Amino acid sequence: MVLKEHELIQIDESFLRQLLENDPEALLGLSIKLTDDLKEAMERLDQNPSNSSKPSGSLAPWDKEVDDDDNNDDDNDESPVDKKSNLQSDSNTNNKEPSDTAEDVDSESGSESEPTTKPRNPGRQPGSQGFGRTQKIAITETQHHHCGGCSACGHDLSTLEKAYTGFQTLNITFGDPETPGISLTNTQHLYYQGTCPNCHLENRSEPQRAPADHFNWEAVGLTEWRLIGSDLAALIVYLSMDMRVTRRKVQQFLRDVLGLKISLGTLQNCIVESARALAPVEQQLIEELRNETVIYADETSHNEAGIPLWLWVFTSASTALFLIGYRTKEIFVNLMDAFKPEFNGYLMTDGYKLYRAYLKRLRCWAHLLRKAKGLQECYSKTSRMQGKQVFDTLSDLIEAVYQAREGPNNGTLSILAQHQERLENLRQVCEVMSSSSHQKTRALGRELLNDWEAIFRVLEYPAWPLTNNEAERALRHWVILRKITQGTRSEQGSRALALFASVFVTCRLRNSSPLLYLRDVIKMRRQGNELPKFPPVPASIAA
């Protein structure tokens, strides 16, 4: 958008008539800008996936269970705090000269630590745990954000502007192998305003902010008007998620290592804002997974404020998508729908029965081997014999798969025909097992029969995987995090966790730094830009 809200409010019929009399050429220029802005605004209104400008997959799977009535709210999806941002509440009141004291910093950090839906008065909030109140940090750099030319007529304003507001942003610079080390910056940002002598429009420069989107993140604006810069915000998320450090320990780290005193509320806000910045990543990952030939799926329990949920992962060798939701068929079926129509690959899973809704499936043999081994140790002689037969058959077939992979055709030729008789014997044993009075024997017999096709599909194409290790490996880190944090406390917290897990695991699979990617995402999205492109898949994995 070219014209800021502050400027648009001043433009009315009398302003346009005056411009027509004094500078008709400028009126034409302004009309073009207004038309462009209007088109952009219209396009933004269209962003809701339910009205077709975006693929349906951009709705989170848990959103789809809501009735249409509820979904209609997505049209006006600006969060309450977005609408009554610090910036606007500040700019609607008397302009104040920016100062070098920590007061400006104070007012911002007060709002960060206490997200509120009420419009704020400018300045320090009563009782706020201000950052600047306890710590003053020298300004290392001042950035001047000028208006440039008049928004309406283009007249040069550079000699007429005056700074009207400002804020400070703390940031760090990461080290790299050439220049190791870390340094802290405190940048003073100054914003200017001036009245155009030609058309009398009062122009103003303003910090950038992300437009409202349909992701419905409550109580968090995505804007440059932030105490915590993008690199420092990325570090906070990295410590919390990748290093599995609790908020209090992050706070302690920042104080001990960087000498920074930052409130827990500010840390928490940073994490939520970063998650909002990442929200569109889900759709990007779905699009990348659509083209895969094998996706590995698995799930583990997750606790959200006492509600037993599941953390799901769908991963390939280079892309991982995590979701948190109920362990119901809907979440799985909705995601598989989101992969359509492109996805025609195989899905590697364990024996959980809702996966059977997807027909092109591969089964993890590790689980089956474990169960067969378990039977060999039970008290029933018949069951021990049957367990042994299942175990031996599977072990021999695994050996055959390995040999086929090393053979001249790299595992692309079916070995099914060579083992037909062996399989037929196994099927007969399973049929006997499935009516056994021993519970575990019966269960394994039935599991093998129910999933027969999925289990032995690998014999048609031995290059396919035999185990679901990829998915289990992707989950492991987050299982440990769950034990440390006891889960999440809100739906928003769960969405944030799933987004961070998706991004951190995908970056690691692609041998690239999640810290730097996240830094770029936060920076770009605060400026109102689209999400930057994901680090590419390295050639070694793509092959």
Binding residues vs Zn ion (CB under 5 A)? 150, 152-153, 155, 196, 198-199, 201
- Quote the least distance from Cβ 198 to Zn ion, whole Å: 5
Closer CB to Zn ion, residue 23 or residue 350? Answer: 23
Nearer to Zn ion, 11 or 541 (CB): 11
- Complex with Zn ion: residue 2 or 317, whichever CB lies closer: 2
Please report which residue ranges of 46-166 form alpha helices under DSSP H: 68-71, 80-83, 86-91, 103-113, 131-134
Determine contact, residues 147/82, Cβ cutoff 8 Å: no
**What is the closest distance, in whole angstroms, from the C-beta atom of residue 29 to Zn ion in the complex?**
10
Other Cβ atoms closer than 10 A to 51: 11
Give the C-alpha separation, 471 to 285, whole Å: 16
Cβ proximity of 231 and 172 under 8 Å: yes
Taking CA atoms, 537 is separated from 319, 324, 520, in Å, by: 9, 25, 18
Report how far residue 234's alpha carbon sits from residue 239's, in angstroms, rounded to the nearest whole number: 9
State in angstroms the smallest separation of the CB of 332 from Zn ion: 58
Q: Which is nearer to Zn ion, 153 or 433 (CB)?
A: 153
What's the min distance (Å) between Cβ of 6 and Zn ion?
14
- The 10 Å Cβ neighbour count of residue 136 is 14
Extract the tokens encoding 487.
């889960």
- Closer residue to Zn ion, CB minimum distance, 199 or 320: 199
Between residues 35 and 403, which has the closer beta carbon with respect to Zn ion? 35
74 is written with which tokens?
Answer: 């997505």
Please report which residue ranges of 255-340 form alpha helices under DSSP H: 264-278, 281-290, 329-339
Q: Nearest-CA neighbor of 261 among 214, 227, 234, 217?
A: 227
Contact indicator for 228, 169 with CB cutoff of 8 Å: yes
Residues 292, 296, 298: CA angle, nearest 5 degrees: 145
Q: What is the DSSP string of 364-376?
A: -HHHHHHHHHHHT
HSE-CB at 341 with a 13 A cutoff on CA atoms is 0
Q: How far is the CB of 147 from Zn ion (least distance, A)?
A: 10
**Distance from C-alpha of 209 to C-alpha of 454, rounded to nearest angstrom:** 49
Q: Which is nearer to Zn ion, 171 or 203 (CB)?
A: 203
Q: What's the start-to-end Cα distance of the chain, in Å?
A: 43
Choice between 25 and 65, CB closer to Zn ion: 25
Q: Nearer Cβ to Zn ion, position 155 or 189?
A: 155
Give least dist CB 91 to Zn ion, A: 19
Minimum distance, C-beta of residue 152 to Zn ion, in the bound complex (Å): 5
CB of 193 to Zn ion, least distance (A): 13
